[in-house]
Amino acid sequence: MAFQQQSQRILDVAAAVGPQLYRILRQRIIRNDLEPGTRISESEIAAEYAVSRQPVREAFIKLAEEGLVEVRPQRGTFVRKIATSAVMDARFVREAIEADIAKELAAGKIAGLEAELRKQMKEQARAAKTGDSVRFIELDELFHRTLAEAAGKVYAWDVIESVKAQMDRVRHLSTRRFPMDKLVEQHSAIVSAITAADANAAEQAVRTHLREILNDLPAIAESKPEFFEDARPGNK
């Protein structure tokens, strides 16, 4: 776990350390820098970030509550493997919330929203052209968060973020299969439907898009069974 140099740049000594460590470790788990099944040590992380073990322990507790790490008595703390059932549950929740957000946005025109989203999609297209899947995922996240914020559904987005970590881990595993150009087209369909005030089309465009994201889940689980708790080919 070599994050000594990175940690020194990221940690803000003027802010609480525990929440920072939680966010950093969470992101590393989601991006699979810390792979499923990896053992992580309080003392090692504390030493590498030059902090006491207490904030590390606090971060581990939050990560465990979110299902990202698992504490095994007498054995240590491990990055939890991905549960395909949890991934599909997260998609169900996300789809339900975001479909309603799109319908609500289609019901009332918001000044500047289309221009902002089209601007974001140009950046997405650039990331797709260069094959930068990590950047694309960041931009995709921004796109969906912008929709939620435009609809005044900040809390709803917080709910989505709290449940979609497992889903995001799969997305980062699927970078070689990631259909970035297709996802940009689907974003365009969402924006067009909202702009046209077509609530039904907006809802369907969101559902189609979020189902596309995990089309490769069975193949990914089959190719990386050691990363999954309940990998079953064809489980959708």
Domain 4-79: which CATH class?
A: mainly alpha
In 3D, which of 31, 26, 35, 25 has the Cα closest to residue 3? 25
Q: What does each of the 236 residues of the chain score in pLDDT, given as a tens digit?
A: 333 334 444 777 778 888 899 999 999 999 999 999 999 999 999 988 888 999 999 999 999 999 999 988 888 999 999 998 889 999 999 999 999 999 999 998 898 999 999 999 999 999 999 999 889 999 999 999 999 999 999 999 999 998 899 899 998 887 667 789 999 999 999 999 999 999 999 999 999 999 887 788 888 888 889 999 865 544 44
Q: What is the model's pLDDT at position 178?
A: 73
Q: What is the model's pLDDT at position 231?
A: 53
In 3D, which of 74, 58, 72 has the Cα closest to residue 26? 58
CA distances 204 to 100, 133, 137, Å, are 10, 25, 21
Strand order in the sheet with 69-72: 39-40, 76-79, 69-72
pLDDT per residue as tens digits for the range 103-142: 999 998 898 999 999 999 999 999 999 999 889 999 999 9
Q: Where are the domain boundaries for CATH 1.10.10.10 in the chain?
A: 4-79
CATH architecture of 84-227: Up-down Bundle (1.20)
Q: Where are the domain boundaries for CATH 1.20.120.530 in the chain?
A: 84-227
In 3D, which of 177, 167, 185, 164 has the Cα closest to residue 216? 177
Q: What is the model's pLDDT at position 234?
A: 43
| Overall pTM > 0.85 | no
